[in-house]
């Protein structure tokens, strides 16, 4: 095993055979943290985004936080109920893309796919950036380096996911459950202290006055409506990740649809409870946040103005509830919040590669995305997602406020089109179904999806109207680029398929002659091996070709060639400008143009070395010539490898390692039989 292979095995684990795919399927207890960590973790930043937006109206804006939270919760539950119908109707894992493609056509399906791919990248960027923002409360040195820290975290998450879905689920399950337990304990203990014990629980910003921008003050008329719409659309970040379960149904254990639907219901219940609990606690404790970039600021009781950002709502509530007396609870919850925000990106690391694989299978994305890696994960999709997210966090320096403006748009595009498609799906099946019980179930499902389509459509309009100028246009532009790119990829594959599949009589005709050319520059073993191999193919004509760069060296080479008498004529091409590639390719081109019905076969001797750094010292000219000749019609290129000592030693070590593995497997099999 080479050093590269050893490093890879340490990072991603041992290889898994295709027959072991069933061993990677997930029970509900592991599927929940894997597929729902994004939606669950959004309660760590969705309340912040609601309060940040409401701060633009000053103190009066915070009165609307709970009604907005209830509205977001209602939308979340409706979407969960709608997707429960989807996982039963389409258990193959295509999710919104498959649903929309089958019912509204391929173009609508690509719109959804583009929206989801862009939103998955944003999910990783927003979740990790929010985690870095929360971590700054305990690690101040991160300030000013958020983008780099976020990029490092994304690379670490990529490495974990390359180990396979089951391994990553085991790693992520414990922190997710600890986060849920911590938030639940904070809400319950805070309510007990305030409502039962009658204690005063106040956040650090409770006595500070918020001064808005004046744009939404007083909070009446169109200004109030615009602010409500903007705050509501920011709160709808809590809905991201819901669709990931419908994409990942094949990863569940049987019965797949039932387990996925149960996980969806559990996700919705927990997420709504946590979101409303945090907003209620923020209202009772007086926790507030401001958006300094938009112009709002704090005024302390002594009249001091505070324009900078404050601790997150989660951090303020944890400190207020657990202090005094239980400081460990504060550090535990803040730590789990940071961890869950980092791990929330795992939802996208499972959704993006699966969707990319399906799109690749259908010919809309490069075929490499459909291939599983050593650990049966879609490794290429995982790495593509990580690269996109790293670019975003570096460009925007992991600013949640800037990234969040591009968020959510894609999700609600897919939500709306998916629910409309489900209505068409039920209408089609109702026309062919005669069983009364089945028809009743279909009608109920159609009602659920109709409500979901109407509600998500309204939310989509609100999101577009309130966020378009604040950054949503960038997300829409990215979706358009992905959409056009997928059409271009599909067109390329279709053109190639049509060209290579159309076999006619001219393709079956044998070439008139085969003109063989051996590239030579020295009389040595690789050259002799290439010439002997060319002779064995019995071409119509065979010649050796060298490019004369240095007259002295060429004379020595010519003399050695004549002394060795290899039985092949030597052709020397002059190169006054000391180039090798151009004159060699030009000579081959002249042969092709003079004999268009002939096939020219070029044999290139190459060294095979045992170390990567040795490869850098050889074969570069041969590589360039081979690449140039590949684009020339009527020319075939054959590499004739010659293993030097380090290459032979490497091959021997690999053969020995293979024999040892086979012997170990045979002993294990014999032991099992006995």
Q: What is the pLDDT of residues 111-136, one digit of tens each?
A: 999 998 998 898 888 888 888 877 77
Residues 51 and 93 in one domain: yes
Residues 527 and 481 in one domain: no
CB-neighbour burial class of residue 373 (10 A; exposed 0-12, middle 13-18, buried 19+)? buried
Residue where a domain stops, chosen among 467, 494, 521: 494
Return the CATH number at 255.
Answer: 1.20.1740.10
Other beta carbons less than 10 A from residue 525's beta carbon = 11
Structure tokens given for 41: 């973790």
Helix (H, G, I), strand (E, B) or coil at 245: helix
3-class DSSP string for 90-138: CCCCCHHHHHHHHHHCHHHHHHHHHHHHHHHHHHHHHHHHHHHHHHCCC
394: in domain:
yes
Element of type H or E holding 29: helix 28-41
**In sequence order, what are the residues at sequence separation of 6 or more whose Cβ sits closer than 8 angstroms to the Cβ of residue 372?**
18, 378, 379
**For residues 661 and 664, what is the distance between their CA atoms, to the nearest angstrom?**
5
CB-neighbour burial class of residue 567 (10 A; exposed 0-12, middle 13-18, buried 19+)? exposed
Residues 232 and 195 in one domain: yes
> Which residues partner with 641 through β-bridges?
606
190: in domain:
yes
226: in domain:
yes
Residues 516 and 461 in one domain: no
660: in domain:
no
Residues 237 and 187 in one domain: yes
pLDDT of residue 568: 92
**For residues 538 and 15, what is the distance between their CA atoms, to the nearest angstrom?**
44
Residue where a domain stops, chosen among 449, 465, 494: 494
233: in domain:
yes
504: in domain:
no
501: in domain:
no
Residues 537 and 564 in one domain: yes
**For residues 2 and 611, what is the distance between their CA atoms, to the nearest angstrom?**
9
Nearest to 419 by CA among 113, 96, 110: 96
Residues 489 and 618 in one domain: no
Phi, psi of 103 (to 5 degrees): -110, -30
Range of the domain at 556: 511-643
Characterize the bridge pairing of strands 209-211 and 297-299. antiparallel
CB-neighbour burial class of residue 338 (10 A; exposed 0-12, middle 13-18, buried 19+)? buried
**For residues 126 and 237, what is the distance between their CA atoms, to the nearest angstrom?**
10
Structure tokens given for 579: 């180039």
Query: CB of 359 within 8 A of CB of 113?
Result: yes
Characterize the bridge pairing of strands 305-306 and 514-519. unpaired
**For residues 52 and 31, what is the distance between their CA atoms, to the nearest angstrom?**
33
Residue where a domain stops, chosen among 468, 494, 520: 494
DSSP string, 562-617: HHHT-SS-EEEEE-TT--SHHHHHHHHHHHHHH-TTSEEEEEEEEEE-SSHHHHTT
Query: CB of 235 within 8 A of CB of 68?
Result: yes
Return the CATH number at 532.
Answer: 3.40.50.620
Residues 370 and 448 in one domain: yes
Q: Which residue stretches of the chain have pLDDT < 70? A: 1-26, 36, 92-94, 137-138, 163-172, 214-221, 223, 247-248, 293-294, 308-310, 371-377, 507, 612, 614-615, 618-619, 646-651, 672-674
DSSP state at residue 374: T
**For residues 266 and 273, what is the distance between their CA atoms, to the nearest angstrom?**
11
The set of long-range contacts for 319-325, using a CB threshold of 8 Å and a minimum separation of 24, is 319/203, 319/204, 320/190, 320/201, 320/202, 320/203, 320/204, 320/285, 320/287, 321/186, 321/189, 321/190, 321/193, 321/201, 321/281, 321/285, 322/186, 322/189
Residues 553 and 405 in one domain: no
pLDDT of residue 517: 94
Residues 179 and 252 in one domain: yes
pLDDT of residue 132: 82
Helix (H, G, I), strand (E, B) or coil at 204: coil
Number of domains in the chain: 2
Residues 480 and 524 in one domain: no
**For residues 622 and 665, what is the distance between their CA atoms, to the nearest angstrom?**
41
Measured over the CA atoms of residue 577, residue 578, residue 579 and residue 585, the dihedral's sign is positive
Query: CB of 378 within 8 A of CB of 218?
Result: no
Q: In which residue are the tokens 């590639």 written? A: 581
Other beta carbons less than 10 A from residue 608's beta carbon = 19
2: in domain:
no
Residues 565 and 422 in one domain: no
């Amino acid at each position: 095993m080479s050093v590269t292979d050893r490093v890879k095995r340490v990072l991603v684990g041992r290889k898994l055979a295709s027959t072991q795919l069933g061993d990677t399927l997930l029970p509900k207890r592991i599927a929940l943290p894997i597929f729902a960590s994004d939606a669950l973790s959004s309660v760590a930043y969705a309340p912040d985004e609601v309060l940040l937006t409401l701060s633009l109206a000053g103190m009066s804006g915070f009165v609307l936080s709970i009604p907005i939270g209830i509205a977001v919760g209602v939308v979340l539950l409706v979407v969960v109920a709608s997707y429960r119908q989807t996982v039963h109707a389409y258990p193959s894992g295509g999710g919104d893309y498959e649903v929309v493609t089958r019912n509204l056509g391929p173009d609508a399906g690509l719109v959804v796919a583009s929206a989801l791919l862009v939103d998955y990248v944003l999910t990783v960027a927003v979740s990790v950036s929010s985690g870095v923002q929360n971590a700054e409360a305990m690690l101040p040195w991160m300030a000013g380096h958020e983008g780099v820290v976020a990029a490092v975290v994304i690379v670490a998450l990529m490495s974990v996911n390359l180990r396979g879905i089951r391994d990553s689920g085991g790693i992520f399950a414990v922190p997710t459950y600890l986060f849920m337990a911590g938030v639940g304990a904070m809400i319950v203990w805070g309510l007990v202290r305030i409502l039962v014990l009658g204690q005063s629980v106040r956040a650090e910003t409770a006595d500070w006055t918020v001064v808005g921008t004046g744009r939404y003050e007083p909070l009446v008329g169109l200004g109030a409506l615009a602010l409500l719409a903007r705050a509501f659309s920011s709160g709808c970040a809590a809905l991201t990740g819901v669709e990931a379960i419908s994409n990942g149904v094949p990863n569940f254990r049987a019965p797949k649809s039932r387990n996925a639907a149960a996980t969806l219901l559990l996700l919705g219940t927990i997420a709504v409870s946590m979101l409303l609990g945090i907003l209620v606690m923020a209202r009772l404790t007086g926790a507030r946040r401001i958006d300094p970039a938009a112009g709002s600021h704090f005024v302390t009781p002594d009249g001091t103005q505070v324009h900078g950002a404050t601790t997150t709502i989660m951090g303020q509530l944890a400190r207020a509830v657990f202090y005094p007396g239980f400081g460990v609870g504060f550090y535990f919850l803040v730590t789990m919040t940071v961890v869950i925000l980092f791990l929330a990106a795992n939802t996208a690391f499972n959704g993006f590669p699966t969707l990319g694989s399906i799109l690749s299978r259908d010919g809309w994305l490069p075929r490499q995305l459909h291939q599983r890696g050593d650990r049966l994960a879609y490794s290429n999709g995982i790495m593509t997602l990580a690269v996109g997210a790293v670019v975003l966090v570096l460009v925007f320096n992991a600013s949640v406020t800037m990234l969040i403006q591009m968020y959510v748009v894609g999700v609600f595009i897919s939500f709306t089109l998916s629910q409309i498609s489900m209505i068409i799906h039920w209408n089609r099946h109702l026309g062919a179904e005669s069983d009364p019980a089945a028809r009743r179930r279909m009608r109920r499902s159609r009602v659920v999806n109709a409500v979901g389509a109407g509600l998500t459509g309204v939310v989509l309009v609100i999101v577009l109207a309130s966020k378009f100028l604040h950054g949503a246009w960038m997300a829409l532009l990215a979706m358009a680029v992905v959409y056009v790119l997928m059409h271009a990829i599909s067109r390329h594959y279709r053109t190639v398929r049509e060209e290579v599949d159309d076999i006619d009589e001219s393709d079956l005709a044998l070439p008139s002659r085969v003109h063989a050319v051996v590239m030579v520059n020295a009389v040595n073993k690789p050259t002799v091996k290439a010439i002997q191999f060319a002779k064995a193919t019995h071409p119509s004509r065979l010649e050796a070709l060298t490019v004369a760069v240095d007259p002295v060296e060429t004379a020595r080479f010519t003399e050695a060639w004549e002394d060795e008498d290899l039985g092949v004529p030597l052709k020397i091409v002059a190169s006054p400008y000391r180039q090798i590639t151009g004159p060699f390719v030009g000579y081959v081109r002249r042969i092709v143009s003079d004999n268009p019905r002939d096939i020219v076969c070029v044999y290139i001797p190459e060294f095979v070395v045992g170390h990567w750094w040795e490869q850098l010292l050889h074969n570069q000219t041969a590589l360039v010539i081979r690449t140039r000749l590949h684009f020339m019609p009527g020319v075939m290129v054959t590499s004739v490898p010659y293993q030097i000592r380090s290459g032979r030693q490497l091959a021997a070590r690999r053969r020995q390692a293979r024999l040892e593995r086979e012997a170990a497997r045979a002993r294990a099999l014999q032991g099992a039989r006995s």
